[in-house]
């Protein structure tokens, strides 16, 4: 039976984050948390292939207790099992400490119920690091196909998968042995609408909670802040640039304003050649 | 002991990604901030890459470690990770910089995990600095976080190498010196098929991806203010008139009006063209971090309070559907006047 595991993250909706102009602090209050968008598409792909191959989808996340909301959303989309990995020891984890936890949990699940494909979103929109997926793969010794845009074939008998991935200049079609890890672009699948049975199932579903000691005992030295080689040295707000002149079409007329803009662009030296005109 | 500052020389099909030369410039500056025993070295993996190794020397690498093997002709995460991991274990670099490209981000995440060290992604500023309780200067790696709303400086105190990926176009290229001298060291890494277990079956060319907006001199970018995908036809017309390329804000990409390859900003590309025209882009912080280093920013927006005007060299408050056609007309008139 096909078994897909999806690693997801609940993130603040960064498009709604604002900075307090007085204190320069991040205003987190009232910022909704959402299932990381790329992860939602990864869940969509996992569910799509579970239906094709008659299998199941397990979703895992490391995060605070409130992350069960994101897990439940995955169940609504058609995932079968959801695990929240949550304990104070995990707090402050950077990508290396996170990949340790997710890799250990994946191993434990794999022992009970062998995994064929390991899905991640290509990156989370809060950190944008894109490191956790490849990190987990490395820890498990698995090949990783990042920036996946399409799964062409999953062959459970001959134990391979064919995935199309995006690179800077072209797409590549890669064949790898199962199990394989992949990180997904949004193109990988549509976000599935909840079907009625899945919706009903999700309402009753209570995600499992795994802690730092149960059901597996982690090496505490590799967890959270303690297990993170990187630390934040300082934070600040982006420097502000000096604003230039602003002209209003309503006051000066479009012809005049555009001419003023072109004159100024041409006067800016280097840009001269761009317009192909000299004054 | 020699303090090694490493740069991954990214290449595909024998073509170097320009970010490699930018990183050699950065690494030189960082090495100079430490002491005169610090060296800048390049790491190059591929097949028939001797010429590139020589180029890396021209751009400032004192030594280039080359792994040249048909099995490494094309990039695959796992074998490349094994190569970089074993080279790092052999030589113990202090700092290791990799371009924050599609390939580089994929590779760096795996290598850092494999070496059990820290990696700061997508950095926009790098320095070597004094840190309390540290006997030597550490890499201060600064990057935008939370959609560009915050700038965070990250350190990696007790692990080595200190790794960072660096966005293309954030730094300028190192100067190319014709007379630069350096050493090319060939390395062999024993690798077996089970260490790879992946193969590339086919390449599909992607026409959109050939638009390298991060290296364009002129970008005309459209935002939500275009009102719909058709607005990009007008944006393209102006871009063509200026010999430039089309950029877009994340809102347009998320709405499906234009492909991701055109996206400028924190989750898209960082650009620093000579001229950036932002039409109908409000200027969310996540967009600004990707384009604020442009030499000349012309913002066109109907809302005089749009944040884009805070960073524009010049702003026009007005309807872009009125302003841009007038601009195209006047540029054409200027060109004709020149030909007369």
Q: Which residues contact B259 (CB under 8 A, 6 or more apart)?
A: B208, B253
A232 bridge partner residues: B154
Q: Quick check: A19 and B77 CB within 8 A?
A: no
Contact B242 A275 (CB under 8 A): yes
B312 Cβ under 8 Å from any chain A Cβ: yes
**Sign of the alpha-carbon torsion through A136, A142, A148, A154:** negative
Give the number of A-B residue pairs with CB atoms closer than 8 Å. Answer: 293
Which domains, and CATH codes, for chain B?
3-196 (3.40.50.620), 208-339 (3.40.50.1220)
CB contact under 8 Å between A237 and B304, yes or no, is no
What would the two tokens of residue A222 be?
A: 């590799």
Q: Which range among A158-172, B61-75, B118-132, B146-160 shows the weakest confidence by mean pLDDT?
A: B146-160
Residues 75-134 of B with CB under 8 A from A: 75-78, 81, 101-103, 105-106, 108-110, 112-114, 116-122, 131
Q: Token pair for residue A170?
A: 């072209």
Distance CA B302, CA A210 (A): 52
Stretch B270-274: mean pLDDT? 89
Per the DSSP assignment, residues forming a β-bridge with A119 are A6, A182
Domain with CATH 3.40.50.620 in chain A: 3-222
What is the per-residue pLDDT for A279?
38
Q: What is the pLDDT of residues A214-249, one digit of tens each?
A: 999 999 999 999 999 999 998 887 776 678 899 999
How far from B327 is each of A243, B220, B302, CA to CA, in Å? Answer: 22, 12, 16
Check if the beta carbon of residue B172 is closer than 8 Å to that of residue B23: no
pTM above 0.90, yes or no: no
Name the residue among B151, B202, B267 with its Cβ closest to that of A238.
B151
Least confident of B135-144, B204-213, B264-273: B204-213
pLDDT tier at B210 (50, 70, 90 boundaries)?
low
In this structure, CATH architecture of domain A3-222: 3-Layer(aba) Sandwich (3.40)
**In whole angstroms, what is the distance from residue A155 CA to residue A116 CA?**
10
| Tens-place pLDDT, residues B89-102 | 999 999 999 999 99
Q: Which of B118, B200, B304 sits opposite A229 (nearest CB)?
A: B118
Average pLDDT on A66-74 reads 95
Residues of B in contact with A118 (CB under 8 A): none
With a cut of 60, say whether residue A278 has pLDDT above it.
no
Instruction: Give the one of A18, A125, A173 whose C-beta lies nearest to B204's C-beta.
Output: A173
Mutate to test the interface with B, among A128, A182, A234, A245 (most CBs of B within 10 A): A128
User: In chain B, what is the greatest distance between 2 CA atoms, to the nearest angstrom?
Assistant: 70
Establish if B307 touches chain A: CB-CB under 8 angstroms.
no
Confidence of residue A77 (pLDDT cuts 50, 70, 90): very high
* Average pLDDT of span B259-279: 90
Kindly write down the DSSP assignment for every residue of A27-48, as one continuous string.
Answer: E-TTPPEEE-HHHHHHHHHHHH
Q: pLDDT at residue B229 above 50?
A: yes
- Which stretches of chain A are assigned E, i.e. beta strand? 3-7, 10-12, 18-19, 26-27, 33-35, 56-62, 81-85, 117-121, 144-155, 160-166, 170-177, 180-184, 208-210, 230-236, 245-248
| Identity of the residue in B109, B153, B203 whose CB atom sits nearest the CB atom of A135 | B109
- Cα–Cα dist B98/B35, whole Å: 22
Pick from B118, B205, B250: CB nearest A94: B118
Residue B253 has pLDDT above 80, yes or no: yes
Q: Which two tokens stand for residue B163?
A: 């790794």
Cβ–Cβ under 8 Å, residues B275 and B298:
yes
């Amino acid at each position: 039976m096909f078994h897909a595991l999806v690693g997801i993250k609940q993130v603040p909706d960064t498009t709604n984050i604002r900075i307090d102009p007085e204190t320069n602090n991040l205003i987190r209050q009232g910022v909704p948390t959402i299932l990381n968008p790329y992860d939602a598409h990864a869940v969509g792909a996992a569910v799509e292939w579970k239906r094709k191959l008659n299998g199941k989808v397990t979703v895992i996340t490391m995060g605070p207790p409130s992350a069960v909301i994101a897990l439940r959303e995955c169940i609504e989309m058609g995932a079968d099992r959801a695990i929240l990995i949550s304990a104070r020891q995990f707090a402050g984890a950077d990508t290396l400490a996170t990949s340790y936890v997710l890799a250990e949990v994946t191993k434990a699940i794999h022992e009970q119920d062998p995994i064929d494909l390991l899905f991640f979103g290509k990156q989370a929109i809060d950190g944008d690091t894109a490191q956790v997926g490849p990190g987990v793969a490395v820890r498990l010794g698995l090949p990783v196909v990042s920036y996946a845009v399409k799964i062409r074939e999953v062959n459970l008998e001959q134990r391979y998968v064919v995935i199309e991935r995006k690179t800077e200049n072209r797409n590549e079609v890669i064949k790898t042995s199962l199990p394989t890890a992949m990180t997904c672009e949004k193109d990988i699948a549509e976000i599935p609408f909840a079907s009625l049975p899945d919706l009903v199932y999700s309402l009753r579903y209570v995600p499992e909670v795994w802690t730092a000691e149960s059901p597996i005992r982690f090496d505490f030295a590799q967890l959270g802040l303690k297990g993170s080689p990187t630390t934040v040295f300082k934070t600040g707000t982006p420097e502000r640039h000096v604003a230039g002149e602003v002209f209003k079409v309503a006051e000066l007329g479009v012809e005049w304003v555009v001419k003023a803009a072109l004159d100024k662009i041409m006067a800016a030296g280097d840009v001269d050649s761009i317009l192909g005109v000299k004054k | 002991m020699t303090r090694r500052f490493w740069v991954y020389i990214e290449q595909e099909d024998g073509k170097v990604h320009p970010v490699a030369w930018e990183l050699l410039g950065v690494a030189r500056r960082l090495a100079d901030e430490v002491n005169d025993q610090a060296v800048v070295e390049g790491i190059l993996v591929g097949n028939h890459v001797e010429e590139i190794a020589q180029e890396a020397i021209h751009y400032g690498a004192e030594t280039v470690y080359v792994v040249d093997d048909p099995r490494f002709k094309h990039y695959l995460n796992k074998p490349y990770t094994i190569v970089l991991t074993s080279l790092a274990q052999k030589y113990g670099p202090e700092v290791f910089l990799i371009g924050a490209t599609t390939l580089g981000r994929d590779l760096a995440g795996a290598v850092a995990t494999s070496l059990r060290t820290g990696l700061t992604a997508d950095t926009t500023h790098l320095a070597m600095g004094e840190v309390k309780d540290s006997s030597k200067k550490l890499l201060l790696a600064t990057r935008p976080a939370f959609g560009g709303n915050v700038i965070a400086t990250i350190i990696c105190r007790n692990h080595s190498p200190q790794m960072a990926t660096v966005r293309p176009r954030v730094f300028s290229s190192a100067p190319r010196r014709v007379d630069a001298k350096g050493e090319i060291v060939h390395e062999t890494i024993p690798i077996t098929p089970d260490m790879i277990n992946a193969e590339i079956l086919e390449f599909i060319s992607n026409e959109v991806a050939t638009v390298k907006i991060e290296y364009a001199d002129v970008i005309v970018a459209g935002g939500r203010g275009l009102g719909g995908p058709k607005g990009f036809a007008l944006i393209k017309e102006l871009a063509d008139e200026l010999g430039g390329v089309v950029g877009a804000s994340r809102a347009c990409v998320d709405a499906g009006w234009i492909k991701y390859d055109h996206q400028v900003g924190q989750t898209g590309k960082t650009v620093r063209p000579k001229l950036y025209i932002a039409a109908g882009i409000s200027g969310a912080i996540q967009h600004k971090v990707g384009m604020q280093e442009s030499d000349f920013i012309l913002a066109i927006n109907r809302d005089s309070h749009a944040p884009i005007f805070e960073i524009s060299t010049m702003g026009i408050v007005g309807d872009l559907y009125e302003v841009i056609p007038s601009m195209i007309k006047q540029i054409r008139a200027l060109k004709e006047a020149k030909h007369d």
